[in-house]
């Protein structure tokens, strides 16, 4: 079940408004649909940035050892050894 919709007034620069109008007409969607989709993308971007920050922080706290790096290099070399490469 969808949550009840709430109206929100938003101000845009004239050039941004024209872009939104052009795109929404081309896609046959409402302004509300455009704004809702933009917000979904913005929220998802924020979540991904949080995940990247957590990954980097974790790596800085516990980077792989020289032995692990060598192991990964060997696995990659073995995996790619059978591949044919175009020159």
Residue 34: Cβ-neighbour burial (10 angstroms; 0-12, 13-18, 19+): middle
Residue 87 confidence (pLDDT): 65
The domain ranges of the chain are 14-80
pTM exceeding 0.75:
no
**Angle 27-28-31 from CA coordinates, rounded to 5°:** 95
Average pLDDT over residues 19-33: 96
d(CA 25, CA 19): 10
Residue 2 confidence (pLDDT): 73
d(CA 10, CA 30): 14
């Amino acid at each position: 079940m969808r949550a009840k919709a709430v109206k929100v007034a938003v101000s845009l620069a004239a050039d941004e408004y024209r872009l939104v109008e052009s795109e929404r007409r081309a896609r046959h969607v409402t302004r509300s649909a455009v704004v809702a989709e933009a917000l979904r993308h913005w929220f998802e971007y924020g979540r991904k940035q949080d995940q990247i920050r957590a990954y980097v922080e974790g790596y800085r706290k516990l980077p792989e050892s020289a032995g692990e790096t060598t192991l990964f290099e060997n696995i990659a070399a073995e995996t790619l050894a059978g591949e044919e490469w175009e020159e």
